[in-house]
Each structure stands twice: as C-alpha cells, then as structure tokens.
Structure 1
Amino acid sequence: MDIPDASSRVGVLDKAAMILGTLTSGPFALAELAAITGFPRATAYRLTIALERHRLVARDARGRFVLGPRIAELSAAAGEDHLLTAAGPILNSLRDTTGETTQLYRRHGEMRLCIATAERTTGLRDIVPVGSALSMKAGSAAQILLAWEEPERFHQGLQGARFTAATLGGVRRRGWAQSIGEGEPGTASVSAPVRDPSARVVAAVTVTGPIQRLTRHPGGQLAQAAVDAAGRLTEVVSRP
C-alpha cells in the first residue's frame, strides 16, 4: 500500500509506521487493524507480530493490539518528556503507599492513553498495559481529563458519558475524581490531575483496584495519596 504523504520508499517501514500510527487511536483487533490500514490480513498480522517482538506493540486484556511499552521508553530516553521520565518512580511509590495498581493517562483525541503503569505485585490486580487506549466516557481518569476542558469540548465530552456535568463540578471543587464500576464492572479507581506551567491539565494519575478492596467510597482512603503523587509530577512538568 502506498503512503503518498509520508513515504520513505521503504515499503515495510512505511507499513509498520502506518500500523503504529493507527494504534494511537486503538486498541484494535487484527481484523479491524487490517480494515483501517487497507493491508491484507496476513500482512497486518506479520508486521504487527514483528512490532510486538520489539515491544513497540502489545496486547490488552482482550487480546487487541495497542501501542507497546517501548514507545514510552523511547520518548523518555529522548529527554523531551519530563513527565514520563519521572512517572515510573512516582507511580511505584504510589503503588507501594496504596498497595494498588497505579497508572498515568493522557488524553489522545477521544480516547485516554495509558502511558505508564506500576502493577500491584501480588493478589488480584487490575492490569492496563502501557499503550492501552480507553474510553473518555467512563472512569475517574476520564473525569479528570475532561473536567477542566474548554466549554465546547466539555459539553461534547459529556455526550454518552457515564458521568454528568454535576459530577465533574464536584471533581473541580475537590481536585480529584473517583469511579465505582464505571469503566469496568467490579473495579474502582481514584484519579488526580497533573498540570503544566499554565495550570492546564495534561495527565491523570490513577489508583485502581477491585471494589471489594477499595470499597464504594475509594476517595476516602486513596484521594490524598493520588493528589500528592499528581502534585509531584506537576512539579516535574513545571521545571524549565
């Protein structure tokens, strides 16, 4: 398949780049990936498996293809993303403090992308692989990433969402969000905003676990830890 606007004249490289570009709005099953790129199914499978071996592509809990952890590692290694560079230690510390899995999300179009995670090491875990693209219509991270948006985008984001404008008003007042079975049945989460030097929300720090551990009021036990971790990441982003 030709890629007129970005062709390097190295066909296999162009195809691999198209797959990675497509997955920025994933996750996608193989059939979906082949349909979007226009590649034959066998070609899409061969290239995607090769990218997976290099950790540029991974799979979510349902076996769908997502961007892999190597993407985030390369971004951090380039020295251009202070947020990702600092995220690992801070998410690890938050995991150790709360005993639960932690994630960092950024908004990407109409999805939220998991760009870093620290998994709970024992017991029942809630695993969201780095690169997973999740809905902006449910979950505490989605609430954080939408709550401070400009009015037009704010109201568009509420269409079909499992939370309301009143919910997001509460998020803005207290500075954190919680979700109980909103994004995934049986799962609860608490999120807090990471801001850039102009105070714009650029990411959401999230603590996730089963409702049976976090209860139906997870903010009571996790909000302060999430807010503190997000504050440390905000300090990193604000550095010159």
Structure 2
Amino acid sequence: MADNITTSTTVRAVERALDILLYFAKSPRELSLSEIAREVGLHKSTAHRLLLSLQTKGFVRKQPGSDKYILGWSVLELLGNVYLSDELTTLALPEMAKLRDVTGETVSLYIRSGIERIRVQAVESNEPIRNVVAIGKKYPLYIGASGKVLLAFADEAVVEEVFLREQIPLDFAREDLLRQLDKIRIDGYAVSIQERDNGAAAIAAPVFGRNRECIAALSISGPVSRFTVDKMNQFVDALCASAAWLAKRLSH
C-alpha cells in the first residue's frame, strides 16, 4: 500500500510540474509565483516547490530581483533533440549531398539549443583529409561560422545570455562580436578561419522557417590548405542557394 501511495504522489507531482510548463506555453511571458499557483490550481508553497525542481533542471529560470519566472534553456534542448528526427534533417540530406558534390567539402547542418549549437546532420567530404565532427556534438554559439549565424539571427535575449553564461575568453571583445553579427545579418552568411579548430575553415548560411525564424545553419567546412578564402568566396552563392531552397521546402 505504501508503494502505491508513493507512486501516486510522484505521478501527481509530475503532472503538476507539466501543468506549469504547459501554462507557460499558453502565456509566453514572465509569470509570477502567485499567477502560476492560481492558474494551475496549486497552493503557493506547492507551486514554489515544483518551480524549484524545474529551475534546478533548467526548465524555468527566475528573473533576477523578482518573483517572476520564464522558461529555461532545457526546453530548447528538448526541441533540439526533436529536430534530430524531423523533416528538417530528412529534407536537408539530399541537398547537402549535392552541395558536397559541388564543393568537395564536408557539409553540415546545425541547430541552436539554448546557448549552444548541435550538429544534427552531415555529409562528409570524400577527400582523405577532411573536417569531421560527430552528429550530436555541441559547440558554443560565439565562435565558428555556424554558431555566429545562429546567434546573429537569434533574439537579443539569447545574445545577452551568451555573454552572461558562457566562459568567453578574456581577450574576446564583446563589441567585435556584435559587429560581426551585424555583418552576418547584412551579408546573409558567415565565414570562420581557424576559429574553433586549428587548420579548419568554414562558411555558413541561415535556414529560415515558416515564420522567418532562423531554425538552422547550413555550413561547408574543410582544411585551410584546400578550403581557401578564394574557394569560400567561390561557393558562397551555392551555399546560400541551398539554404534558401531548404527554407522554401520547409515553408510548404
């Protein structure tokens, strides 16, 4: 009997925690403890206890200096895993293979998960020396062509979060990064040379979704000895065309 009571109590706590998260989905703004407790039908002490658990796991964040909460980055991490099997990676694969055949270099697809990026699809170069990254590997947003594309077209709050939470090197100038992000928005693509990995270069372009939000970054990468600045400039149009084609398919 005791085990049944414990199980029932645990299940109920999970249901209540999910009710809180679903209420955030209905009201996409910051919410106070009192409002959450009232709308979900909980005592404030119960709501507070559940919010602490959700906060510990990163599903909600408490706004500094107030009793209001917003959704946390763990929600986006779940969304990132959804992308691993959705239409984006399925649609992208044939186009990525075509781009690889045209350029001879590795083509990758990244999505943003919180303040990181995840490689969710790839077509490796056939060259013996090539840029290889595992599917599912996470990297910061503030470095590398794909990361900067995702950051450039993210909300301002994401940019601020990167500066607040990431262990950015002391010699990494905030204003320089902001200028780079402005340039990426104007140019429509990003370039990186030996930023994340020594000896590697990359170009990346945004893939926009149905509501014109940037849902992914499509990139071409290779060794600097072969993927030179001239080569990158040569393939920018093909990269942007593939990203635009994918965006158009996703909007249908």
Same fold (TM > 0.5): yes
Q: Is the 8 A contact 1:72 1:116 kept in 2?
A: no
| Aligned residue identity for 1:82 | E
Output the CA distance in 2 between the equivalents of 1:158 and 1:90: 34
Aligned equivalents of 1:211 and 1:118: distance in 2?
Answer: 19
Which residue of structure 1 aligns with residue 111 of structure 2? 106
Equivalent residue of 1:189, what SS? strand
* CA distance in structure 1 between the aligned counterparts of 2:162 and 2:194, rounded to whole angstroms: 19
Count, aligned residues: 172
Match runs of 1:123-138 below 5 Å: 123-138=128-143
Give the share of equivalent positions with the same residue, in percent.
29
Query: Which residue is 2:149 aligned to?
Result: 144
Structure 1 pair 141–169 and aligned structure 2 pair: CA distance change class (3 A): same
| Residue number in structure 1 paired with 2:185 | 172
CA contact (8 A) 1:111 1:134 kept: yes
1:223 and 2:236 matched: yes
SS in structure 2 opposite 1:214?
A: coil
1:69-125 Cα distance to aligned partner (Å, 9 max, x none): xx889x54xxxx221111110110110011000000000112111110000112201
Within the alignment, does 1:119 sit opposite 2:132 as a pair? no
Q: What does residue 154 of structure 1 align with?
A: 159
Q: Please name the residue that 2:213 is paired with.
A: 200
Amino acid at match of 2:221: T
User: In structure 1, the residue corresponding to 2:120 is in which secondary structure?
Assistant: strand
Contact conserved, 2:109 with 2:217, CA < 8 A, in 1?
Answer: yes
Q: CA-to-partner distance for each residue in 1:159-203, whole Å, 9 max, x for gaps? A: 627561111111000100000011111100000000011111000
* 1:131 CA drift (Å): 1.2
1:157 deviates by 2.8
Structure 2 residue identity aligned to 1:234? A
Distance in 2 of aligned mates of 1:220 and 1:146:
22
More helix, by proportion: 2
**Distance in 1, Cα, partners of 2:199 & 2:182:** 25
The secondary structure found in structure 1 opposite 2:225 is helix
1:11-160 to 2 correspondences below 5 Å: 76=85, 81-158=86-163, 160=168
Q: State whether residues 115 and 161 of structure 2, in contact with CA within 8 Å, keep that contact through their aligned partners in structure 1.
A: no
Q: TM-score, normalised by structure 2?
A: 0.61
Shift of 1:155: 3.3
Separation in structure 1 between the aligned mates of residue 205 and residue 240 of structure 2, nearest angstrom = 5
Deviation of the 1:5 alpha carbon: 6.7
Q: 168-177 or 127-136: which moved more?
A: 127-136
- Runs (5+) with no aligned partner, structure 1: 7-70
**Partner-residue secondary structure (3-state), 2:226:** helix
Give the whole-Å Cα distance in 2 for the aligned partners of 1:125 and 1:154. 31
RMSD of the alignment, in Å? 2.9
Shift of 1:154: 2.1
| Cα distance change on mapping 1:84 and 1:199 into 2, 3 Å | same
TM-score of the superposition, structure 1-length normalised?
0.64
Runs of 4+ aligned structure 1 residues displaced above 6 Å come to none
Change over 3 Å in CA distance of 1:84–1:211 after alignment to 2: same
> Does the 8 Å contact 1:190/1:206 carry over to 2?
yes
Deviation at 1:222, TM superposition (A): 2.1
Between structure 1 and structure 2, the one with the greater Rg is 2
CA contact (8 A) 2:110 2:216 kept: yes
Unaligned runs of 5+ in 2: 1-9, 13-80
